[in-house]
Amino acid sequence: MKNRLRLRSRLSVDTMKNGRCFLILCVILGLNLSLNLPLAASSGLADRVVEQKLANGLTVLMVERHQTPVVSLNMTFRVGGVNEQVGQTGLAHLYEHMAFKGTRTVGTKNYEKERPLLEEWYRVGTELEQRQRDLARKSPERPASSEDRAAIEELQKRFTELQEKAGQFVAGNEMALLYQRHGGVGLNAATGKDLTRYTINLPANRLPLWAALEADRMAHPVLREFYKERGVVMEERRMRNDDSPTGLLYETFTSAAFRAHQYGIPTIGWESDILSLTPADTEAFFKAYYGPDNATIAIVGDINPKDVMALIEQTFGTIPASPPQPQPVTVEPPQRGERRVEVEFDAEPSLVIGFHKPALGHADDYVFDVIDAVLSDGLTSRLYANLVREKRIAASVSSDSNYPGVRAPNLFVFSATPLAPHTTAEVETAIYAELERLKMEPVSAKELEKVLNNLDADLVRALRSNGGLASQLALFQTVAGDWRYALKARDKIAVVTTADIQRVATEYFTKSNRTVATLVKKTGGKKIATALEHEVAR
Amino acid sequence: MKKVKRETLCVKRGIVALGMLAMMMLVPMMSACAGNPTLGDPRQMTFKTVEFTPPDADRVVLNNGMAVYLLEDHELPLVSITATMRTGSWLDPAEKIGLASLTGSTMRTGGGGGLSAERVDGDLEQFAGAVGISIGRQSGSASLDVLSKDMKRGLQIFAGLIRTPAFEPARVELAKLQAIEGIRRRQDNAGSIAGREFGKLLYGADHPSARESSIESISRITRDDLVAFHRKTIHPNGMMLGVTGDFDKSAILALLRDIFGDWEKGEVPVLAIADVPQSQSAKPVVRFVNKDTSQTHLRIGHLSIKEQDPDYVALAIANDILGGSSFRSRLFNDVRTKRGLAYSVGSRLNSGVHDQGVWLMRAETKLLSTQEVTARFVANMERMRTELVTDSELAEAKEAYVNSFVFSFASSSAIVGRQMELEYDGLPKDFLQQLRARVIALTKEEILAAAKKHFNPERLTIVAVGSGEALPKLLSGFGEVKEIKLAPEG
């Protein structure tokens, strides 16, 4: 699958396998931070990062790499699914989409004329949707009046007119177009539980373009084409969660594992919440969380840090700091018994198991990183060797020590597919047997050595790509408050003992601390597609 | 549908300045705002085209015909080696589809070079080395990624697996079971069904570019088949090696001669894939697959030209403007931005040298908007065939192409990989420069002519996966709708 005229970076094999061969904007990230891919200890990274902080709180991390005249830019905000309120799930991700709609300068043909139309359109749209919801709540005892219906009809008419009028001033996707014209590749953004990131790679001499566009977007975004973009997000939800067996299994699993904390909510949001998000909600979310003091910019490539800082001071430096961001208060209460959930789907069976564990920075977190590697890293890992190769009951098995975020206590997750005719129950039993072995027997010295060798090699490999390095730097600065976290974590991992592993396995891998979700083959029943007709097609 | 290969946009020398293009750009908006107070309006910024001469890899041919590309890069203590091999599933016998793929996966997992499978896996993972081997439709590939201190032992394992794989019976059995499980899970995802059924309708279900393994075909394959397929198709004179990273050229050449030098030449298979006879019927083919999903997964298109075709550049840019360039493209702006009907939408021209290309448009959209999206696809295709693209669309396409050239050299391994791919496909070394020159010279009239000739409404094949109850009616305006009934796998 090659096309020598295509202007994109390489596609991943996974992307191709699923037939998703188009550039996809605004991917939702699970942000599974694996410490298998952090920063380099042995390659002198610590000396190569230039760290600066502006007076308004903006953090800038820079690494010079002069092999090719290109630069990777990563702007990461400390905001994500955890910052959403009940009834407004999906808001962080919807804002991320809206952030591509331009500013008072870019994306418009005439902002002065556009602005009043946008304001009126969004006022009418919000009232229309409120009335539509009220109408839907009417009961046979309190039926809708003909006035109600007439008012909605009038609002709908007005809505369509205003949408049309405002649309005449839109210069569609202009920011993206500018980046593309100047040779930008990999324009994208992603929203996770803990953070939201915006990325682009440019020829190195185009940095002023980036600074002008991004500072403008941080200071003065304009939320255009709101209702259509919300429709796009609905399609994204259907594609990723509703029609994907893995997506739906994970959504169901996660919401069963967390009863209180926001980690239990799908980052893309629940369908009914997405459909009731308003332009005002979205604007308010931007104002609360998108200040320079809540952002880290990582820049890796053919740059001169002094010049870059001058450029950033000139542009981002003029943006005022925002008030302190409200912090989430909900803490997940301890789990007091096993939870089991099922998802019926027209697909072959699969299994997810999760155990609650502490957040990033807790002493036990490093022990879980070692356990993760021992159990599922490579063909010689315990789960692969035992379940896939020896017993031949699983087609695949993997683990993840930081799901679905890292800033709050999270889950250690196992994911597996049985090899027919074996069942998810057999695979589940075999996984538990491996966990019991972790509790009973010390892990061998050779296994520990392997974990550390691979960690050290991955620390070096992470430096290969500008974009990968920028992403890692911004990530750890955002979630740990320090990009050096990965270097420090390596040293903590190096001193994890066999006794630590036995203790942690015994403490956390218990029946009452786990949630188990299985995907079972659907047989008949209600059709999915027919349930969607209530969505207003605007 | 086809083997995944690297994206290959590559120029070797500095890029021709296109200042005139920037001036041609029509910026059709007037703003009351002045943009950033210090830097000015980003829409008016101009920059010099980036000049960059990437390093050139050395090419050395061993006595047995193996071509080796070498490019030193000492920034990090790593060595990366990739191999491209003249083999592929086009060689699969009809009753044993899956043979090439299984040979590739078991070359990796079955041990070799005198080491047991367990020893290979254990040694590699202990020193954090990574080896991959796979065989796709039109080529085989292998890779080694090691810290430079482990280069020698890594290379020995790598060469052992390629030259003398052991195909340990237990590992062969496991690979077969996993292949069968993969087949059983093929119908789990609607998008996968749509893509595979579309390919089979275009090429025919038995054509090497579309045919699929089955539980029966995998079950028939024996260890002896794998041994024979390897012996027959993997030869040093059918192989290229690309070495990049932290090594010394003369030292590694000595090592490569030591490890591969006594491997004797063999008869390399000829890569020839039959063209599909064009069907005489001039009517669109409309098919649906019933699956209980909330969205309709759409694929619309037909067979297209090869990369050597004189119209290729014009058609590729036509496709770029139609739906190939994400944000810039018409389909993205129409179906996604203006109508809000899809998250993932666009078009693609997949053309290679060896088999016929495919051109397709695709989207996922909720059931109720299936008809509208399909109609927009057809209308946008028609517009490409009947109207000249605008001056700004053409200028944007050219600027994007020229200005992003430099990303072809983002890494040493990318540079070497592209050189190897051109050699594999028998294309001239300056093929990409030729393409670039053609793009720069391209006119709106050439694009229209290519679109008219190669986007053909009568030849459209439409595949939709989704609600079997509703789809026949929703698609009835586009041709005679028939169902593809999938037999359950396994």
From first to last of the 538 residues of chain A, give the pLDDT tens digit. 344 543 222 222 222 222 222 333 333 444 333 433 344 444 577 889 999 999 999 999 999 999 899 999 999 999 999 999 999 999 999 999 999 999 999 999 999 999 999 999 999 999 999 999 999 888 777 788 889 899 999 999 999 999 999 999 999 999 999 999 999 999 999 999 999 999 999 999 999 999 999 999 999 999 999 999 999 999 999 999 999 999 999 999 999 999 999 999 999 999 999 999 999 999 999 999 999 999 999 999 999 999 999 999 999 999 999 999 999 999 999 999 999 999 999 999 999 999 999 999 999 999 999 999 999 999 999 999 999 999 999 999 999 999 999 999 999 999 999 999 999 999 999 999 999 999 999 999 999 999 999 999 988 998 899 999 999 999 999 999 999 998 899 999 999 999 999 999 999 999 999 999 999 998 766 666 544 444 543 4
Give the span between the Cα atoms of B12 and B14, in whole angstroms.
7
Query: Confidence class of residue B277 from pLDDT cuts 50, 70 and 90?
Result: confident
Closest A-chain CA to B367:
A529
Name the DSSP class of A292: G
| Beta-carbon separation of B32 and A9 below 8 A | no
Mean pLDDT of chain B: 91
Q: In terms of C-beta distances under 8 Å and separation of at least 24 residues, what long-range contacts does B41-45 make, across chains too?
A: B41/A105, B41/A212, B42/A105, B42/A106, B42/A178, B42/A209, B42/A212, B42/A213, B42/A216, B43/A105, B43/A106, B43/A174, B43/A178, B45/A182, B45/A208, B45/A209, B45/A212
Compare CB distances from A453 to B35, B52, B126 and report the shortest one's residue: B126
As a three-state string, the secondary structure of chain B is CCCCCCCCCCCCCCCCCCHHHHHHCCCCCCCCCCCECCCECHHHCCCCCCCCCCCCCEEEECCCCCEEEEEECCCCCEEEEEEEECCCHHHCCHHHCCHHHHHHHHHHHCCECCECHHHHHHHHHHCCCEEEEEECCCCEEEEEEEEHHHHHHHHHHHHHHHHCECCCHHHHHHHHHHHHHHHHCCCCCHHHHHHHHHHHHHHCCCCCCCCCCCHHHHHHCCHHHHHHHHHHHCCHHHEEEEEEECCCHHHHHHHHHHHHCCCCCCCCCCCCCCCCCCCCCCCCEEEEEECCCCEEEEEEEEEECCCCCCCHHHHHHHHHHHHHCHHHCHHHHHHHHHCCCCCCEEEEEECCCCCCEEEEEEEEEEHHHHHHHHHHHHHHHHHHHHCCCCHHHHHHHHHHHHHCHHHHHCCHHHHHHHHHHHHHCCCCCCHHHHHHHHHHHCCHHHHHHHHHHHCCHHHCEEEEEECCCCHHHHHHHHCCEEECCCCCCC
Query: Confidence class of residue B53 from pLDDT cuts 50, 70 and 90?
Result: confident
Q: What is the pLDDT of residues B326-375, one digit of tens each?
A: 999 999 999 999 999 999 999 999 999 999 999 999 999 999 999 999 99
- Residue B278 token pair: 């064009």
- Name the minimum distance, in Å, from the CA of A464 to any CA of chain B: 8
> What is the rounded average pLDDT of the residues B116-144?
98
Is residue A305 domain-shared with residue A425, that is, in the same domain?
Answer: no
A313 occurs within a structural domain:
yes
A219 occurs within a structural domain:
yes
Closest A-chain CA to B436:
A5
Closest B-chain CA to A395:
B178
A528 occurs within a structural domain:
no
Using alpha carbons, select from A332, A340, A255 the residue that is nearest to residue A511. A340
Is residue A128 domain-shared with residue A81, that is, in the same domain?
Answer: no
Give the span between the Cα atoms of B390 and A331, in whole angstroms.
56
Is residue A95 domain-shared with residue A115, that is, in the same domain?
Answer: no
- Name the minimum distance, in Å, from the CA of A81 to any CA of chain B: 20
A482 occurs within a structural domain:
yes
pLDDT value of position B490: 63
> CA separation (Å) from A472 to A38, A303, A368, B403?
6, 18, 20, 27
Task: Using the 3D structure, point to which of A169, A186, A216 is the last residue of a domain.
Answer: A169
Give the span between the Cα atoms of A493 and B210, in whole angstroms.
48
Compare CB distances from B366 to A25, A206, A238 and report the shortest one's residue: A238
> CA separation (Å) from B438 to B48, B314, B405, B431, B448?
21, 8, 14, 11, 15
User: Percent of chain B having pLDDT more than 90?
Assistant: 84
Q: What is the pLDDT of residues B286-311, one digit of tens each?
A: 999 999 999 999 999 999 999 999 99
Give the span between the Cα atoms of A96 and A90, in whole angstroms.
10
User: In the beta sheet, which residues pair with residue A133?
Assistant: none
A164 occurs within a structural domain:
yes
Compare CB distances from B343 to A108, A227, A235 and report the shortest one's residue: A235
pLDDT value of position A522: 86
pLDDT value of position B405: 86
Is residue A263 domain-shared with residue A385, that is, in the same domain?
Answer: no
Give the span between the Cα atoms of A19 and A21, in whole angstroms.
6
Is residue A261 domain-shared with residue A285, that is, in the same domain?
Answer: yes
Residues of chain A contacting residue B334, judged by C-beta atoms under 8 Å apart: none
Question: Does residue A116 have a cis bond before it (omega within 30 degrees)?
Answer: no
Q: What is the pLDDT of residues B3-51, one digit of tens each?
A: 323 222 222 222 222 222 332 332 333 333 344 556 889 999 999 988 7
Q: b/e map of B93-121 (b: 16 or more CB within 10 Å)?
A: eeebbbbbbbbbbbbbbbbbbebebbebb
- Name the minimum distance, in Å, from the CA of A528 to any CA of chain B: 6
Which residues, other chains included, contact A386 with Cβ-Cβ below 8 Å and sequence gap of 6+? A430, A434
Is residue A401 domain-shared with residue A298, that is, in the same domain?
Answer: no
Is residue A492 domain-shared with residue A410, that is, in the same domain?
Answer: yes
Is residue A177 domain-shared with residue A312, that is, in the same domain?
Answer: yes
User: Range with the lowest mean pLDDT among B124-133, B222-231, B272-281?
Assistant: B272-281
Residues of chain A contacting residue B39, judged by C-beta atoms under 8 Å apart: 208, 211-212, 314-315
What is the Cα Rg of chain B in Å? 25
- Name the minimum distance, in Å, from the CA of B80 to any CA of chain A: 11
| Beta-carbon separation of A216 and B185 below 8 A | no
Q: Which of the residues A243, A447, A449, A530 would you substitute to probe the B interface, choosing the one with the greatest number of B C-beta atoms within 10 Å?
A: A243
Compare CB distances from A7 to B30, B349, B401 and report the shortest one's residue: B401
Question: What is the residue range of A463's domain?
Answer: 339-521
Compare CB distances from A228 to B338, B410, B435 and report the shortest one's residue: B338
Is residue A199 domain-shared with residue A165, that is, in the same domain?
Answer: no
Residues of chain B contacting residue A225, judged by C-beta atoms under 8 Å apart: 337-338, 340
A536 occurs within a structural domain:
no
Number of alpha carbons in the 13 Å side-chain half-sphere of residue B49: 20
- Residue B169 token pair: 């019976």
Is residue A427 domain-shared with residue A493, that is, in the same domain?
Answer: yes
pLDDT value of position A525: 62
Query: What CATH number is given to the structural domain containing A187?
Result: 3.30.830.10
Split into its structural domains, chain A has a count of 3
Compare CB distances from A177 to B328, B366, B367 and report the shortest one's residue: B328
Closest A-chain CA to B29:
A109
Task: Using the 3D structure, point to which of A169, A189, A207 is the last residue of a domain.
Answer: A169
- Name the minimum distance, in Å, from the CA of A409 to any CA of chain B: 30
Is residue A394 domain-shared with residue A506, that is, in the same domain?
Answer: yes
pLDDT value of position A138: 81
Q: Which of the residues B1, B3, B5, B9 would you substitute to probe the A interface, choosing the one with the greatest number of A C-beta atoms within 10 Å?
A: B9
Closest B-chain CA to A319:
B36
Compare CB distances from B294 to A5, A347, A529 and report the shortest one's residue: A529
Is residue A177 domain-shared with residue A91, that is, in the same domain?
Answer: yes
| Beta-carbon separation of B47 and A203 below 8 A | yes
Amino acid making up residue A60: V
| Beta-carbon separation of A105 and B35 below 8 A | yes
Report the predicted TM-score, pTM, of the whole model to 2 decimal places: 0.91
| Beta-carbon separation of A529 and B293 below 8 A | yes
Q: Is the pLDDT of residue B489 over 90?
A: no
Backbone phi, then psi, for A339, in 5-degree steps? -120, 135
Query: Helix, strand, or coil here: A526?
Result: coil
Give the burial class of A27: count Cβ atoms within 10 A of its Cβ; 0-12 exposed, 13-18 middle, 19 or more buried. middle
Residue A223 and residue A240 in contact, taking contact as beta carbons nearer than 8 Å: no
Domains and CATH numbers, chain B: 58-260 (3.30.830.10), 275-483 (3.30.830.10)
Other CB atoms within 10 Å distance of the CB of residue A104: 19
Residues of chain B contacting residue A106, judged by C-beta atoms under 8 Å apart: 35, 42-43
| Higher-confidence position of B436 and A506 | A506
A411 occurs within a structural domain:
yes
Q: What is the dihedral of CA B183, B186, B192, B197, to 10 degrees?
A: 70
> Which parts of A85-110 fold into alpha helices (H)?
91-98
A530 occurs within a structural domain:
no
